[in-house]
A = this chain, B = another copy of it.
Amino acid sequence: MIVLSKHKHLNIKRFRPTLREVAALAGVSQATASLALRGRPAVDAATRARVLEAATQLRYVPNLNGRRLARGRAETIGVIQGRNMTTLFSDSFYRMVLAGAGEAAQAAGYSLMIAPTLRKDTSVMEMLEHVGPGTVDGVLVVGVLEQEAIFALRDLGLPVVVVDTYLPGTDIPAVAHDYRAGAWQLTRHLLQLGHRRIAFVGADVDYPFGRDTHDGYRDALSSAGLPYSSVLVRMVAISAEAAAAATRDLLSATPAPTALVTVTDTMAIGAMRAAHELGRRVPEDVAVVGMDDIELSAHTNPPLTTVRVPKEEMGRLAAERLIALSRGQQPTPSVLMLSGTLVVRRSCGAGSAGRPTGEVWS
C-alpha cells in the first residue's frame, strides 16, 4: 500500500532534481552550484560551465520555496479583495484596477498572488492562510476592507497599500480617486449647461465614497449660490436597481428635476432606464450623468457623460508604491489622490459645448 501510494506520488512529481544533485553531478559544492547558477562573478568560468551543463542535463529548476525561505522575500505581491465587490475578476471597474496592478507588478518582475475569497465574510486571517508572510512581500487591498483587518496586516509586518479608497484619520498608504472632485465636476457641468434643479442619487455606504460624492455635489451647488435641498437627494445602494427606484421617485415630483447626478455609471444606467420607462427622454427631458467610465458607458443609449476614473493608473501606482515599500522605502504621503476627467457624451445634453477639460466621443 505504501509502495503504491509512493508510486502514485512519484508519477506526479516525477524526478525533480535539487541543487544538491546538480552540484554532485558537476562535482562541486552546493554553494558553488548556487553561485554559478545565479551568475555571480566570483566563480570560475570552467566551473560555471560544468554546473550549467549539469543543470540543463538534469532539467534543474530551482524550488522557489526553498529560495524564498532562505531569502526572506518572495517578489510577489498579494491581492486581497475588498468587501464592496463580489469578485475582483467579474467587476468591470475593479478588474481594470487589477489590470493596472498586474502590469506594474510584471514590469518590476513581481508576481501577483490573488487570495481566494471563500465566502462573503472570509476573514483576513483566513486570507492570510494563502497570502501571508513568506509568500508575499506586501498586500494590495483593492477596495474597502475593515480598518481592523488592515491594521492587522500591517502589524504582521506586511506593507499594505489600499487602492480606490482610503482610511481617513490613519496613516495607511492609499491610492485613490478624488470622488469629491468628480461629483463636483459633474454637478458643475450640469450647472454650466443651465440646469438649476439638479437631483443627486448618492451611495448610502459607510466608506468615504458615499460622503465624498455627496460633498462634491453640495460644493458645486453652493459655489453656484444654489441651496441644497434634501428633496432632491436620495442615498441608496450602489446598483442599477436602487438607482432606478430612486429615479422613479425623484421624477414623479413636481416640479421634477431637470438633471440627475448619479455616482456610478451602473447607477446612471439604472436611472436612464427608469427615465425611459416613465416616458422621459434623456437628455431632452432629463439629463443624466454617472461616474467611473466603465467600458459599457460609451455604448449606452444615449452614451453616458461621466467622469473617467483612472482605474488602471490607480492600480499601477498602488502596486508600484507597495513594491517600493516592500523594498524598504519609507512611507511617503499617505494618500495619493488622483483626479479623473470629465467625459462629455450625450446623456447630459451638452451638444457641442464640450468643456476644454473634457473629451467627446461616440
Interface residues of A (CB under 8 A from B): 8-9, 12-16, 59, 61-69, 74-76, 87-90, 92, 95-96, 98-99, 102-103, 105-118, 125, 128-135, 152, 155-157, 159, 295-296, 299-300, 325-326, 328
Q: Is A114 touching B112 in the complex (CB atoms < 8 A)?
A: yes
Known: A12-B157, A295-B296. A63 touches B328 (CB 8 A): no
**Residues of B contacting A96 with CB < 8 Å?**
89
**Residues of B contacting A130 with CB < 8 Å?**
64, 75-76, 109-111
Partner of A66, one of B69, B98, B131: B69
In the bound assembly, the distance between CA atoms of A13 and B27 in angstroms comes to 38
Q: How many copies, total?
A: 2
**Residues of B contacting A152 with CB < 8 Å?**
59
Q: Is A63 touching B134 in the complex (CB atoms < 8 A)?
A: yes
Least Cβ distance of A126 to chain B in Å? 9
Known: A116-B111, A118-B109. A157 touches B15 (CB 8 A): yes
Least Cβ distance of A11 to chain B in Å? 8
In the bound assembly, the distance between CA atoms of A135 and B69 in angstroms comes to 11
A67-B134, A75-B130, A295-B295 are known contacts; what are 7 more A-B pairs with Cβ within 8 Å?
A8-B328, A61-B125, A61-B156, A89-B96, A105-B116, A110-B130, A111-B113
Q: Is A117 touching B106 in the complex (CB atoms < 8 A)?
A: yes
Known: A12-B159, A61-B132. A99 touches B109 (CB 8 A): no
Least Cβ distance of A241 to chain B in Å? 18
Least Cβ distance of A306 to chain B in Å? 15
In the bound assembly, the distance between CA atoms of A13 and B159 in angstroms comes to 9
**Residues of B contacting A90 with CB < 8 Å?**
99
Q: Is B76 touching A103 in the complex (CB atoms < 8 A)?
A: no
Q: Is A134 touching B103 in the complex (CB atoms < 8 A)?
A: no
Least Cβ distance of A52 to chain B in Å? 13
**Residues of B contacting A12 with CB < 8 Å?**
157, 159, 325-326, 328
A-B contact pairs, 11 of them (CB 8 A): A59-B155, A62-B132, A64-B130, A65-B74, A87-B102, A92-B295, A95-B99, A111-B114, A112-B113, A112-B116, A299-B300
In the bound assembly, the distance between CA atoms of A116 and B319 in angstroms comes to 13
In the bound assembly, the distance between CA atoms of A328 and B75 in angstroms comes to 29
In the bound assembly, the distance between CA atoms of A15 and B156 in angstroms comes to 8
> Chain B residue with minimal CB distance to A8?
B328
Partner of A109, one of B63, B116, B155, B299: B116
Q: Is A88 touching B68 in the complex (CB atoms < 8 A)?
A: no
Partner of A113, one of B66, B76, B99, B118: B76
**Residues of B contacting A118 with CB < 8 Å?**
106-107, 109
> Chain B residue with minimal CB distance to A13?
B157
In the bound assembly, the distance between CA atoms of A9 and B98 in angstroms comes to 29
Partner of A111, one of B108, B131, B300: B131
Known: A92-B295, A106-B116. A155 touches B14 (CB 8 A): yes
